[in-house]
């Protein structure tokens, strides 16, 4: 059983070297680091846009209420 397992692992390791899997892993890890760096920035921009939209709606509602109060 041990001999079969070692042979399988040897073939797997050989295939990993042949297909440059370590290089792919490094490249993918680097891309994930870049993407994870962009996430907080984009999340902050979305939060800011939502806050500004909410503030605008509140100002419009206050103006409508004032106009209706003076209209009557």
Q: What is the pLDDT along the chain (72 residues), one digit of tens a residue?
A: 455 667 777 777 787 777 777 888 899 999 999 999 999 999 999 999 999 999 999 999 999 999 999 988
Q: What pLDDT does residue 1 have?
A: 45
Tell me what percent of the chain is helix, strand and coil, each rounded to the nearest 5: 95, 0, 5
Give the largest Cα separation in the chain, rounded. 93
Q: What is the pTM assigned to this prediction?
A: 0.55
């Amino acid at each position: 059983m041990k001999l079969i397992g070692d042979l399988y692992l040897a073939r797997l390791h050989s295939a990993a070297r042949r297909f440059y899997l370590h290089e792919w892993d490094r490249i993918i890890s680097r891309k994930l680091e870049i993407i994870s760096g962009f996430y907080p920035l984009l999340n902050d921009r979305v939060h800011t846009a939502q806050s500004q939209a909410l503030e605008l709606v509140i100002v419009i509602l206050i103006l409508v209420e004032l106009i209706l109060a003076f209209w009557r």
